[in-house]
Every structure is written in C-alpha cells, then in structure tokens.
Structure 1
C-alpha cells in the first residue's frame, strides 16, 4: 500500500456503540495503511478494542478521555450496547461535553491533527473543527440512501394529510425512486429532530445540517450498491467530496486487517457445527446488538423455527429487559438447531457454505455482511434507518424478503415457519442478484476497485488539506 498522505496527523473519533465503532476502526486500519498518523479517541472501557490496531500499526495511538456523565443516563452508560436506541439523544448530548477537553488537547499538542474524522452522531465536531480551522469528515456507518432520506426530512419537511394517522403514507419525492413509507416508520427519524423549542429536538436537528455542512462525507458503502444515492448526496451537498469506502470488512483474501470485534471462545464450536450441515440449509437468526425482543416475540420466533423443521443458528442476547428463549425449546430442537447466548462471529457464520438465509433487523452492518457473503436475507426492520435499509434490499435490490415490520410486532409462527422453510428448503439456490452483489462488493475492496480508489482519494484529500489555507471550516 503506497503512502498517499505524507504522514498527515488526524483524529478519529468513533461513537461508542459496536455498530458504529467497528466500521470506523476498519476505516482507520485502511487509512493507516496509506501512511496517515492517527490518534483514536476512546473512553476507558473501549480502549481494549483498539489493541489489534495498536499492535498492527505503529502510526496509531490512543487518546483516552472519560465518558461524560449525563442526568438522563444510568450509571455505567459507557456500555452503550446495553442501552436502547431511545437513549441515543442523551448519549450524543453527553458526548458533546468532550468538546472542551478535546479543544484543550489540540491546543497543547506539539503536532495536533490537521483533520477530524468522526461518526455522524458526533456532529458537533464539525463546529469544533471550524473553531480549530481544520477539516471535519463525517463518517456514516449507515448507508447513503438512509442518510439522504434523513437529510431530506430536515430540508424538505413532509406533508401529512392527517397528523393523527400513524399509517398515513409519506412520499419522499426528492429522493431517487421516490420511496413511500407509512408515517410510523419515519416518526422516530423525524420527531427527534423537529419538535420546535424542545432542546433535544433542536440538538438533533442541528446535527443533520452540521453533518451535511462538513468538509467531506465518508460512507460505509460502495458505488455499485448505491450509485444513484451517492450522486444525489453530491448534488445536495453541492460538492464531490463524498467517498464510498465500504464494505468495511476483511475480504476473504486479506489477512492483514485486524479483527477489532470481541473474542468468542465458542467460534470453533460454531464452525464445527456448521461443518456438519449441508450447503444452504441453515437459517441464521440475529437482530443485532441492541434490538430488545419481548418474551412474546421470542416465543413466536421459537415456535416458527420449530415448525419450519429447518436447521437454524439463533443468536440471542441475555440481559435485563430482553426476552428469553422459551423453556424446552433447545431440548426439542437439539441436533438441528444451535442457540448462541454470546457474541456471534457473524462474518464467519455468514460466509460459511451451510448458511442459506439470514433473518436480520436490517442494521446496515448486517446488510453489508449479508450482501458480501452472498446470503439472501429475511428482513424484519424494527426502527430508525432499518426501514430505509429494508426498502433498498427488498424493493430495489430484490435480495431480501420482508417477513415482519416493527419493534413491537409479534410474528405469526405459521407464516414465519413458511418463510424460513422456503428460504432454506431442498433445492433452493441463491439468486442471480445476490451472487452479483457479492462479487461487486468484493471487487470494490480489491486493488483497483471503486472503494479502494475512494480510500486513496480520501487520504490524498486529507494530505492536501495540510497545505491549504483554511479558516472557519471553509477554505479561503
């Protein structure tokens, strides 16, 4: 990998939730390979996650700052993965208290960073960068389509014929392909930003605009997947400093990328069990690190898996407030199913020949991992941008089947069983679109691919900013 950045020093600032942190650390690895000198800002409990990067790259160093307290957050809130999505606004407001400590660090550093790359949820770093007269690059762990819609909701507020109707349809005519959603699917994205006079809403609304106003926009996606939305974002931003650098995952032939995820002692046992299964016969069920399923939902999922007679690998979360696996289910399905009550090595699982379908909440990381593995998806979007991601994979790309919608919805076990059995039934083969997108994703991250070129372009843009006259977040 060529040194494209002349050793320019940057600050990387991840949002402290696994789904946000892991892809930005993968991006950090890629930028380190291109010669950047990188400081990564983390809170104390996340410092161990950096160890693979720190042991791989001598040009990466940590900056550890305490996780700020906030009256709306419980003690120990640094474990963001254990908090529901509704806590995100409070976490974001708490993280903003790091503005002054970071500013002090910059002002006392012998060779401070020339740019900041920070998560979309840390939008206030745009104002910090302006204050320091350096560039801020927004990193989005969400897809380009999702970010385009979130921005459009702010810039072009939708009209509602009946404000009391949660099922009223909203047409987003400013977005390519004019997607249509019932109001209840957009309400979280919209209401957290548009309640006039509410301080949290004002904070969130300002964030949408600050992200778009940043010097550059970096997405964990690839051109071949979301080309029309990349073009749209460039038009809305009125510049071409938009880079699609994903999928930010280790490729099958790249052994240099450190594994920044948690370790799992059961990884070998999981692979061994999958090795005993036929090709495309296992449905992998996982709803991410934060979805909170109720006991009723867990019961119906278990019933559906049992009725389907299909092989399955089900990842569940054991924590206070989460539903539990029904008693006796594991005994009744022993031999053809495996329930994981620990972190799952998802990339490894999805790439195994035995996995024929992926039941997912449509979080963007899971979507990308499923696409790159070439595994057809069964979509159950639950909240936030997951509904937008589902539109992309179900309606536009046609590599997923919608089986359920909503965080509170309880599936019909008979219909659920039918979806599962049809997805991994005898003779089922992966469709042409699924195979083509897998190839496109892998090619994007190979030498000469679209994402590799965008990574090179991003590193060069950072290096060029070192010598540019820069003031207030905009070049003179």
Structure 2
C-alpha cells in the first residue's frame, strides 16, 4: 500500500504551478498525494492530475484572498485533519514555506512536516549568508565575500543600496492570526542585519524540498544543507512534463495551463513570431504580481520605441501600482477599473515591430520560439528557470525580495544575462534600458553560455533531481513509516 503525503501550497500562481508538478512526481514515485487547497482555487488544478489514481484533491472552504483568508484556511485545515477521510493520517505534510503557520496545526495531529521552497536555493542561501556576514558598512567600490558561497556572489555596494519598491499591501492581522507573508516567512523581507524569516519558520520542518537542481545551484544547496543540519533535496526545475518532451520545438501553454484573460490568442502570437528573424525578438514581462513604477513604465515604453528591436510586451491591468493585480480598484462610471500604466499609442507608432499583450501571455510558447532572442524579466524564479531551460538570455530588472538574488545568480554566477541598471537604488531610465537591450541582444558570449546551460535540460528532467526524489522517498519510508 502506498504511503500518503498531504501537500499544502501557497495561493500565488508562481507557487501553485510548481506544486502541481511536485504532485505529479510524487504520485509517479508511488506516493498517495492529497492536495489540500483553498476552495477558491479548485479550477486551477490541471485535469491531468485527476487522471492519476494516487492523486486526491481536498478543498478547504475559504473566501477569496483577504485579511480573513489565512484565518479561514487555518480553521478549515484543522477541521479536515480532525475528520480525516482515510483510516490513518498522512505520514507527513509538505508545506509551502509561505504557509509555515500551518506547521503548528500539523504538529497537533503528530504529522511531521517538510518545507517546500518554490523559489531557488540561491535566494535562501544569500539571505542566510548576508545575515551572517552583516556587510552593511560597505563603501563605494568595496565588496564582501561570503564564506561558503562562490566568489561571484560577493556582496557589492550596489547590492546594499538597492531598494525594494512596489511592496504588496499588508493588511492588519485579524482574530489574532498572522497576516499574509511577503516571502518565505510571515514577517516580510529581512531588514539589514535581521535573521532570514525562513530560517526560523522552517525550524520544525524535518527536511527541505527546493525547486532547483544541482546543474544550476549545487553550491547553494550544499550551503543551506550544511547550515540547517537536515536533508535538503533539489527536486526541480518543477516545470510541466511537456516542457521536458518538446526540446527544440514550440511549446503550447494552453495544453497544460488553465486559460486566463488575454488580448491575444496563441495562434496570433505564433503568426507574429513566425514573421520575425531568428533570435531577434525581445520578450518583456514582469509576471503577474510585481512590476516597475508608473514612471519607469513610461521610460520602458520610450526605450522599446527607440531601440529598433522587435518586441513582445506583456502588461497587466493595474501596472505601476503597489501590490498585485486586484488591489487598488476605483469606481468609474459605475464600474470597477484598475488604475495603472498603459503605453497608449505605442502600438500605432511601432506598427508590426511590436506586439503588446494585455493580461495573460503564453510565456513558454514565446520562450520556446526560434525568433525569441532575449527576455527582459523581473527574475521571478519560474520565469528564470523557463528562460534558461530554453536557452534565452535575460536582461534582469528585479523588483523585490528573492528576485534580486535570482538576478545576481543569472548575471554574476551563471553569466547568462545582464542587469538593466548597475544602480537599482534609483529609477531605471530609458538610456539604461536601451543600453541593456543592445548588450543583451548583441553578446554572443552570453548566448553561448545560456545555450550550454540549456543543453543540460534537453534530455529531460535532470538526473540529479530524479535521484533527489528517490532519496526523499527513502527518507520518508525510513523516517516516518
């Protein structure tokens, strides 16, 4: 009889997608997987998961995300565990690191927990190393090496100066329950000299699963494991199964991701890309939750107009406002409309050279097309993985949190991209962007580096991650059964 594991994901898109793939891998390892998910997210679960006999979905009744959301989830989770549907409780629970509040609930039922990081190992290890080194007294031109990490990741004065902008709304606690977290911990991103929240809040977890692999982040996985003194498994990149089976060909997002509102169809995107020369298109997207300021968006529009390169620009409703889409709505003529930046008139001025997509874009399709030659990205971890896996160099424009460390990994350690600006303590301007685009799209060395790295993923899911999942299965069977 297969052992049962329950999984509790965070509700952001960048957390759900890797979680679904982890479910696939675990069921393939003969675990019975019970995915515990908010009832508001039931339609996001891919139909392919339901087809596996070892997969089960349990909905936690809860309202849409709000200050009450976490409280309702906690209450619902406790009720589910109190009235569990099977003869025995799960042997363990895999908990997204941003849901670490739930560890106390699982402990009440004597269910051991494993922490799941949907971000990479670099960001977590850099937070830890910076906290240990306290390099906040750096002067211009100085650097501080971080013992145990690659020299390329040394902290610079520019790293210390950089700012986080567009922070998410942070509603007050309700019913004594902690507010939604910013990053891997509940307290928000660590301030200078402050212990990384993830370190304390995963202290009761018996092991860590991280969405990465040895080929990308071996030194960082080793660094975390040596410090926390518990098993750390690199089980990624947790990308769709189709991603690993379509190397060298276009990948259609609609085949495995739920449909969302968009101003274009995949067919229209394909036809536009087919009309452009090989490797000529710059893809611009900041994901669904963060982005530059309104003023920086205007600078970006001018840069794309003047650079002369074909481009696809994905822009969300409410761009430029603090917080993710859906917050900050205003009433106008009796209807709700998100305030934000939009480059009105740009499409007419650039003509067929540019494609502006409002809403959702088929990112894997765009990154896997031969005409795409660069990616201007916020360096969210999923976007970073998808670009590297398809051999696309990155122009990094990190906005907050782990994105800054992902960008440093891309630029300094992996050497597969450039920073959009060397000084992110101030607004990014048109000249910075234009120069960054020219460097990225014209640098053959960077293109070669990312092609060499992407070759490691052309034969399917990384061997090291297959081994890590096997080791994790042995760990569960020996430790919990």
Give yes or no for TM over 0.5: yes
Calculate the aligned-residue CA RMSD, in Å: 3.1
* DSSP 3-state at the match of 1:118: strand
List gaps (5 residues or longer) in structure 1. Answer: 1-5, 69-75, 79-89, 189-198, 468-476
Structure 2 CA distance for aligned equivalents of residues 95 and 153 of structure 1: 30
TM-score (norm 2): 0.79
TM-fit CA distance, 1:325: 2.7
What are the within-5 Å matches in structure 2 for residues 50-65 of structure 1? 50-65=45-60
Aligned length: 423
TM-fit CA distance, 1:228: 0.9
TM-fit CA distance, 1:368: 0.6
* DSSP 3-state at the match of 1:333: helix
Structure 2 CA distance for aligned equivalents of residues 222 and 293 of structure 1: 30
Q: Does 1:433 align with 2:449?
A: yes
Residue 268 of structure 2 aligns with which residue? 269
What are the within-5 Å matches in structure 2 for residues 324-473 of structure 1? 324-404=341-421, 409-424=426-441, 431-443=447-459, 445=461, 449-467=463-481
TM-fit CA distance, 1:393: 0.8
Q: CA distance change for structure 1 residues 145 and 415 in 2, over 3 Å: closer, same or farther?
A: closer
TM-fit CA distance, 1:45: 2.1
Deviation digits for residues 263-307 of structure 1 (CA, Å, limit 9, x no counterpart): 566112111211111110000000111114333222211111111
Deviation digits for residues 108-138 of structure 1 (CA, Å, limit 9, x no counterpart): 2133221111111111233333333232111
Indicate conservation of the 8 Å contact 1:310/1:421, yes or no.
Answer: no
Structure 1 CA distance for aligned equivalents of residues 386 and 28 of structure 2: 22
Structure 1 CA distance for aligned equivalents of residues 417 and 279 of structure 2: 15
Residue 134 of structure 2 aligns with which residue? 158
* DSSP 3-state at the match of 2:344: coil
TM-fit CA distance, 1:21: 1.3
Residue 85 of structure 1 aligns with which residue? none
* DSSP 3-state at the match of 1:142: coil
Structure 2 CA distance for aligned equivalents of residues 247 and 443 of structure 1: 13
TM-fit CA distance, 1:380: 0.8
Residue 222 of structure 1 aligns with which residue? 213
Structure 2 CA distance for aligned equivalents of residues 463 and 96 of structure 1: 33
TM-score (norm 1): 0.80
Residue 146 of structure 2 aligns with which residue? 173
Q: CA distance change for structure 1 residues 129 and 396 in 2, over 3 Å: closer, same or farther?
A: same
Q: Among residues 87, 96, 114, which one is paired with 2:91 in the alignment?
A: 114
Residue 36 of structure 2 aligns with which residue? 41
Deviation digits for residues 197-217 of structure 1 (CA, Å, limit 9, x no counterpart): xx8799536653132441111
TM-fit CA distance, 1:339: 0.4
Q: Which is bigger in relative contact order (C-alpha 8 A, separation at least 6)?
A: 1
* DSSP 3-state at the match of 1:123: helix
Q: Does 1:259 align with 2:256?
A: yes
Structure 2 CA distance for aligned equivalents of residues 235 and 252 of structure 1: 31
TM-fit CA distance, 1:170: 8.1
TM-fit CA distance, 1:168: 11
Structure 1 CA distance for aligned equivalents of residues 430 and 80 of structure 2: 55
Q: Does 1:101 align with 2:76?
A: yes
Q: CA distance change for structure 1 residues 365 and 7 in 2, over 3 Å: closer, same or farther?
A: same
Structure 1 CA distance for aligned equivalents of residues 141 and 435 of structure 2: 30
Q: Does 1:249 align with 2:239?
A: yes
Q: CA distance change for structure 1 residues 433 and 372 in 2, over 3 Å: closer, same or farther?
A: same
Indicate conservation of the 8 Å contact 1:25/1:260, yes or no.
Answer: no
Q: CA distance change for structure 1 residues 403 and 292 in 2, over 3 Å: closer, same or farther?
A: closer
TM-fit CA distance, 1:405: 6.7
Deviation digits for residues 348-368 of structure 1 (CA, Å, limit 9, x no counterpart): 111111000000111111111
* DSSP 3-state at the match of 1:62: strand
Indicate conservation of the 8 Å contact 2:61/2:72, yes or no.
Answer: no
Structure 1 CA distance for aligned equivalents of residues 414 and 361 of structure 2: 27
Q: Among residues 110, 114, 128, which one is paired with 1:133 in the alignment?
A: 110
Deviation digits for residues 39-77 of structure 1 (CA, Å, limit 9, x no counterpart): 112222211011424433232222222336xxxxxxx53
* DSSP 3-state at the match of 1:284: strand
Residue 12 of structure 1 aligns with which residue? 7
